[in-house]
A = this chain, B = another copy of it.
Amino acid sequence: MEAEGGSEPTTTRAPTIYDVAEAAGVAASTVSRTFARPGRVNSQTAERVRAAAAAIGYRANPVAQALSTARTRMIAVLVSDLANPIYAELLRGAQVAASAAGYGVLVEDTREDAVVERETAERILPMVEGVLLASSRMSDAAIRSIAKQRPVVVINRGLADVPCVVADEQRGTRRAVEHLGEAGHRDLVYVAGPDASWPNGARWRAFSDACHELDLAGRRIGPFEPTFAGGFEAALALGGARASGVLVFNALMAVGVIRGLQQAGLRVPEDVSVVGFDDVLIGQIVSPALTTVSTPLQAMGATGLRNLLAVVNGARSRGEPVVVPARLLPRESSGTARQPA
């Protein structure tokens, strides 16, 4: 806070178009156009300007550009929890896609809290050209209100009138239930994640429908925190139940469930089969390896971001959500049901 001593190297102000203009013997507007409107300027002049710019080390000030063009070349990406690898993957996909388009990504971790998310969004809104909401916990109304102010794309959530990128939860879940049914499991449990999570609702509905159609008993427990600890806790709650097949909201929880069950003296998959969602490293490492419904997270992040940029650049989005496929990866955590006692 204290003012610095007098020995500062007098931070030489960064060169501006005016400096370049002077060096090249032209007007500032010509310098600006040299970079912003190539073609508008005579190629000889342009060459002189570029040489002068290079000589004095000119680089355009993005803030000034943003002010006059109203384009900040930044996108906000809101995720619920960076410690969850699925968001890290989504973010990564989005970041790389943004970078490729010359955009920067402002991340915000909303800590699974709709209020924090809302406030965060409103706060950074004026700074960005668009917002990518990954697994938003906000209400539909809140999302629409944001979408009224800036282009928005939503990942992992279906929402009319707002462009979405979602996995085929219906089909993925269905496959998981079929998988368990085919292995002879007749008593299924869905371990739920946060109520505010859209995929959680979609998975539960699809689970419920599939159980009904396939004539299986399907119930639900939860909600639990969408973390390893949450899954572990769920496993204990599961203890007494007669479930032989368990479908878990996400991979972190599923791993927690497996560990919790093992802790309780049950074997996976011999006693209980566990199927999760999301294909993340931890699911491959855990023993037994997690049977899971996999969605292309990085691609979803990248697609979401690209679609967002398209809207930012004036594309009219056709109302339909972008649906990416989800497929079942059978691994070791699921197997044949024990003969009913």
Contacts and interface: CB of A to CB of B under 8 A. Distances in A.
A234 to B, nearest CB: 16
A340 to B, nearest CB: 30
Interface stretch (A92-100, A153-161, A162-170, A176-184): A92-100
Given A63-B63, A63-B72, A88-B83, A106 B109 contact: no
Nearest to A148: B9
A72 B91 CA distance: 23
A285 interface: yes
Interface string A202-227: 00000000000000000000000000
A14 B99 contact: no
A16 B316 CA distance: 28
Interface stretch (A119-127, A132-140, A265-273, A318-326): A119-127
A17 interface: no
Contacts of A92: 82-83, 109
A116 B72 CA distance: 22
Q: How many identical chains are in the complex?
A: 2
A252 B92 CA distance: 18
Interface in A1-50: 1-5, 14
Contact of A281 (B95, B106, B124, B228): B228
A104 interface: yes
Interface residues of A, number: 49
A120 B107 contact: no
B282 A259 contact: no
A255 interface: yes
A244 to B, nearest CB: 23
B3 A126 contact: no
Nearest to A256: B285
Contacts of A120: 99
Contact of A85 (B85, B109, B127): B85
Nearest to A59: B126
A61 interface: yes
A85 B280 CA distance: 11
B1 A313 contact: yes
Given A2-B314, A96-B109, A315-B2, A104 B83 contact: no
Contacts of A51: none
Given A88-B85, A106-B74, A126 B282 contact: no
A252 B284 CA distance: 12
A59 B150 CA distance: 15
A189 interface: no
B316 A4 contact: yes
> Which of A1, A2, A127, A286 has the most chain B CB atoms closer than 10 A to its own CB?
A127
11 contacts: A2-B314, A2-B316, A61-B126, A62-B127, A63-B127, A67-B67, A74-B127, A82-B91, A82-B92, A105-B107, A285-B286
Interface of A: 1-5, 14, 59-64, 66-67, 72, 74, 82-83, 85, 88-89, 91-92, 95-96, 99, 104-109, 120, 124, 126-127, 228, 252, 255, 259, 281-282, 285-287, 313-316
Given A2-B316, A83-B89, A83-B92, 4 more contacts: A1-B313, A2-B314, A63-B72, A74-B106
